[in-house]
Amino acid sequence: MEINILLRLLCAHFLCDFLFQPGSLVDRKKNDDIQISLKANIMHSLIHAIAAYIIAGAWLSWYIPAGILVSHFAIDFLYKRKKDGLQPFLIDQLLHIIVLILLWLICEGQFRALWEYISGLFAGNKMWVVLIAYILILQPSSILIGIFTEKWSSQLNITGNNGLQDAGKWIGYIERFLIINLSCYL
């Protein structure tokens, strides 16, 4: 597979989303007036589509600008329009990158192979065992750990602030997630 087109699509995305997007456009995209926000998001999505088409240089692949126009608008206007913070930002960027990867796979004629590979994963037992392991290491194991350590946590005299308690929960999630990941490759 040729990765050149994917790199070009990523370059166009990062240029349009970060370097060439003025603050005034960002403000208009989040405006409370739906008309202003709609126009700004359409303009931003159109800029992305045109830049991707030009930078990718895959002139016969009309679905690249069409896919970017529609997906970028849907992600930015329908999902992220009124959301701020790290999590919405990361989800927004991840969704855009997934779309670019899918368009690249279609352009390379590899989308069907990817679909067959993913479908094959769901047919085998190993994937279901690993999925169950991931589910169990998150919330159920946290409940067990909480029950086990309850007598010590009540002695800490925590006063209404769950920040540290939540930090421990997420550190535990990450630790258990990494253990499962490493065990799958050993």
% of the chain surpassing 90 pLDDT: 40
What is the CA 33 to chain-centroid distance, rounded? 27
Distance in angstroms (rounded) separating the CA atoms of residues 19 and 136? 42
Other Cβ atoms closer than 10 A to 182: 9
Contact between 11 and 48 under an 8 Å Cβ cutoff? The reply is no
Taking every pair of Cα atoms in the chain, the longest distance, rounded to a whole number of angstroms, is 68
Over residues 158-173, the mean pLDDT reads 62
Place of tokens 């209404």: 160
Tell me how far CA of residue 36 lies from CA of 25, 33, 70, 138, in angstroms. Answer: 10, 6, 18, 42
pLDDT in tens, 110-120: 877 777 776 77
Whole-number pLDDT of residue 48: 97
Whole-number pLDDT of residue 154: 62
Over residues 41-53, the mean pLDDT reads 97
Whole-number pLDDT of residue 103: 93
Whole-number pLDDT of residue 171: 76
Contact between 64 and 48 under an 8 Å Cβ cutoff? The reply is no
Whole-number pLDDT of residue 84: 80
Mean pLDDT of the chain: 83
pLDDT in tens, 61-74: 899 999 999 999 99
Distance in angstroms (rounded) separating the CA atoms of residues 142 and 2? 44
Distance in angstroms (rounded) separating the CA atoms of residues 29 and 23? 10
What length does the chain have?
A: 186
- Does the pLDDT value for residue 50 go beyond 90? yes
Contact between 180 and 137 under an 8 Å Cβ cutoff? The reply is yes
pLDDT in tens, 97-155: 999 999 998 888 887 777 777 677 667 777 777 778 778 877 777 777 777 667 666 65
pLDDT in tens, 68-96: 999 999 999 988 777 788 888 889 999 99
Tell me how far CA of residue 27 lies from CA of 20, 37, 94, in angstroms. Answer: 14, 9, 22
Contact between 22 and 101 under an 8 Å Cβ cutoff? The reply is no
